[in-house]
Amino acid sequence: MPSVIPPNNVPENSTEIVIIGSGLAGLAAGQLLREAGHNALILDKGRRAGGRMSTRRADGFLFNHGAQFVTARSAAFSAVCARAVQAGQLAKWPLAGREDAFSGTPAMRGLAEFMAEGLTIRQQADVKNITRLKPIPGPYSGPLKLQLADGTVITCRHLIVTCPAPQTSRLLSEAAPELSACADPVIYSPCWAVMAGFPAPIDLPRTLIQTPEGPISWATYEPLRPGASQTAAVTLQATANFSKTHLEAEPADICDQLLADFAEQQNISLPHPSYSAAHRWRYAKVEQACPQDELFHISDTDSSIFVAGDWHPAQGDDGRFGKGTRAEDAFLSGLRAAKQLNAQLA
């Protein structure tokens, strides 16, 4: 089990290493550091670990409204996925149309929960501001001071920031303007996701839909996932174009429109859902990642700051850089930051 620290109960306000973000990048970094004998404190503003690897349970339904599946090409991510399969949190999912696709069983967040084992994580910890505690000569020296939304102040010497690029840029504008600037050119597309639960199973002519033209880019009938119950839950994800055009629309209108489009695509008449909700991912998928050779850390003898996340893809063991579009890119990026920090601490 991860050691989850409840809000407002930080045992120590000073720690050696802080990681901001309990998505795949932050968890990968946390695990590598833990295996190397370092205990990092992970802070995340969300309620549960996983970031965009997310699952919602509501009214007896289960929806995976973030990443739909993961693919593993690198040895490191393949090894984690294999261990998660053994632990029963992940399973091969050929329905996704790719041989190397894995689904949660049935929760995608299960992979994050598996990776969070043994880590110290404080959820609902919203970092608002990062500064140097005592600016001393040398551009990168001095402990870092993190100000949280609830007023808590945490100081640390080493920091790994794994938020999406726009949030990373804002957080590091004062403490590390060079890293903040790396994040600026990164472009994300948004994504509207609709979750609808129905009182009885639905007979769908097509099991799973992927239509790049939109408005729906992806639809999952959740009972088709490994380990899923038969409760009739449908998750719809809109295309980037639709999501950009309707970014500020009302969630209820998005639900109505995407459910109508889904019924039309399937050529069925849908019953009225007993549960429906829309979630807007403002930073869903990377459209333009950071250049490969871009800076990912600034370090001095006693202090360092790293950035990681899908937007800053690292090299896999096959020598290739990802495009930032897959969860594995986030994982490898977190691993790169932690390896570098571990080497510095040796």
Ligand X SMILES: Cc1cc2nc3c(=O)[nH]c(=O)nc-3n(C[C@H](O)[C@H](O)[C@H](O)COP(=O)(O)OP(=O)(O)OC[C@H]3O[C@@H](n4cnc5c(N)ncnc54)[C@H](O)[C@@H]3O)c2cc1C
Residues in contact with ligand X by the rule CB under 6 A:
20-26, 43-46, 51-53, 66-70, 125-127, 162-164, 167, 171, 191, 193, 237, 281, 284-285, 309-310, 326-327, 330
Furthest C-alpha separation in the chain:
69
Shortest reach from residue 245's CB to ligand X, in Å: 17
Shortest reach from residue 47's CB to ligand X, in Å: 9
Shortest reach from residue 136's CB to ligand X, in Å: 26
**What are the start-end ranges of the E strands in the chain?**
3-4, 17-20, 41-43, 56-58, 61-63, 70-71, 90-92, 101-104, 120-122, 127-132, 144-148, 153-156, 158-161, 187-198, 208-210, 216-221, 232-238, 275-288, 297-299, 304-307
Residue type, 176: A
Q: Which of 113/310 has CB closer to ligand X?
A: 310
Pairing of strands 120-122, 3-4: parallel
Residue whose C-alpha is closest to residue 140's, from 168, 166, 179, 171: 179
Q: Which of 97/199 has CB closer to ligand X?
A: 97
CA atoms within 13 A on the CB side of 168: 33
Shortest reach from residue 23's CB to ligand X, in Å: 2
With H, G, I as helix, E, B as strand and everything else as coil, classify residue 260: helix
Find out whether the peptide bond into 291 is cis, omega within 30 degrees of 0: no
Q: Which of 287/300 has CB closer to ligand X?
A: 287
| Cα–Cα dist 313/322, whole Å | 6
Residue type, 333: S
Q: Which of 232/335 has CB closer to ligand X?
A: 335
- DSSP secondary structure, 306-327, as one string: EE-STTSPPB-TTS-B--S-SH
| Cα–Cα dist 149/147, whole Å | 7
Pairing of strands 275-288, 232-238: unpaired
For residue 76, what are the contacts with CB-CB under 8 A and spacing of at least 6?
317, 331, 332, 335
Q: Which of 99/203 has CB closer to ligand X?
A: 99
Residue whose C-alpha is closest to residue 208's, from 302, 101, 293, 303: 101
Residue whose C-alpha is closest to residue 168's, from 334, 300, 55, 341: 334
